[in-house]
Amino acid sequence: GAVVSQHPSWVICKSGTSVKIECRSLDFQATTMFWYRQFPKKSLMLMATSNEGSKATYEQGVEKDKFLINHASLTLSTLTVTSAHPEDSSFYICSASTRRANQPQHFGDGTRLSIL
Amino acid sequence: AQTVTQSQPEMSVQEAETVTLSCTYDTSESDYYLFWYKQPPSRQMILVIRQEAYKQQNATENRFSVNFQKAAKSFSLKISDSQLGDAAMYFCAYRIYQGGGADGLTFGKGTHLIIQP
């Protein structure tokens, strides 16, 4: 089956630093990638949708300048949490999809981000 | 806006028994997809089953089946012969169909399924 690799799986960093999370589709061309956020014991909330070669579309309430998304190729999207603060601590999950509507999204294994 | 509601925060079932997880959704669209995802403690999202709204036949995958009632906007998951490995959070999810895969999923709040040996 399709494989999506997300890296790192866990990161701890100091408040004020920026953290980059990578999402790679390993065996298919991901024209669209999605970034979700999950708080402990909560559901997944869609943060943004990125299409290869164009600007990401952010959901309402998600700060564009805080969460920078780049989707420069058909196999790689990155999420950069800028000037991270403790309230940004969360579990971030990416998923990848092709343009075919009947294909499911393929999820990465997620990144646990802890800001001290 | 679309919403997905899972009214059961937690369900418990004896091993080998059958359990049904509920999900309702609200949408004004006629074409869409519905999914059930399983999230074990590893937090990996695993697709259990999916249903295309235009198909009347309920989807089945081995021990997992759905009861899709489009008019009632209901999409329940039935797990037969429950196994210890089925213990996990189960999320119902919705995705609009717009001729492409470029739409994110809307998730319900999840149901924590406990399997008692």
Dump pLDDT digits (tens) for A48-61.
999 888 889 999 99
The minimum CA-CA distance between B81 and chain A, rounded to whole Å, is 26
Integer-rounded Cα Rg, in Å, for chain B is 14
Q: Hey, which residues does B99 pair with through a beta bridge? A: none
Q: Judge: A105–B101 Cβ closer than 8 Å, yes or no.
A: yes
Contact between residue B109 and residue B8 where contact means Cβ atoms under 8 Å apart: no
Q: Judge: A98–B91 Cβ closer than 8 Å, yes or no.
A: no
pLDDT at B64: 98
Q: Judge: A100–B100 Cβ closer than 8 Å, yes or no.
A: yes
- Across the interface, which of A42, A101, A110 has its CB nearest the CB of B99? A101
CB contacts, 8 Å: A46 with chain B: 104-106
* Amino acid, res. B114: I
* pLDDT of B29 strictly over 70: yes
Distances (CA, A) of A60 to A26, A45, A47, A49, A112: 30, 11, 8, 12, 23
On whether any CB of chain A is under 8 Å from the CB of B30, the answer is: no
On whether any CB of chain A is under 8 Å from the CB of B103, the answer is: yes
Q: Judge: B104–A104 Cβ closer than 8 Å, yes or no.
A: no
pLDDT at A116: 94
Question: How many CB atoms are located within 10 Å of the residue A66 CB?
Answer: 14
* pLDDT of B2 strictly over 90: no
Q: Which residue of B has its CA nearest to A43?
A: B109
pLDDT at A34: 94
Q: Among positive and negative, which fits the CA dihedral B20, B3, A100, A71?
A: negative
Question: How many CB atoms are located within 10 Å of the residue B41 CB?
Answer: 8
The residue among B45, B94, B103 with the most chain A CBs within 10 A of its CB, best to mutate, is B45
Q: Hey, which residues does B5 pair with through a beta bridge? A: B24
Least confident range from A68-72, B50-54, B100-104: namely B100-104
* B101 — pLDDT class (breaks 50, 70, 90): low
Distance (Å, whole) CA A49 – CA B28: 22
- How many residues make up chain A in this entry? 116
Q: Judge: B107–A45 Cβ closer than 8 Å, yes or no.
A: yes
E runs forming strands in A1-116? 4-7, 10-13, 19-25, 32-38, 44-51, 57-58, 67-73, 76-81, 90-97, 106-107, 111-115
- Across the interface, which of B44, B99, B108 has its CB nearest the CB of A43? B108
Q: Judge: A100–B101 Cβ closer than 8 Å, yes or no.
A: yes
Concatenate the DSSP letters of all residues of B1-57 into one string: --EEE---SEEEEETTS-EEE--EEE-S-SSEEEEEEEE-TT---EEEEEEETT--S
* pLDDT of A1 strictly over 70: no
* pLDDT of B100 strictly over 70: no
pLDDT at B99: 56
Task: Say which DSSP state A78 is in.
Answer: E
**pLDDT (mean) for B78-102:** 88
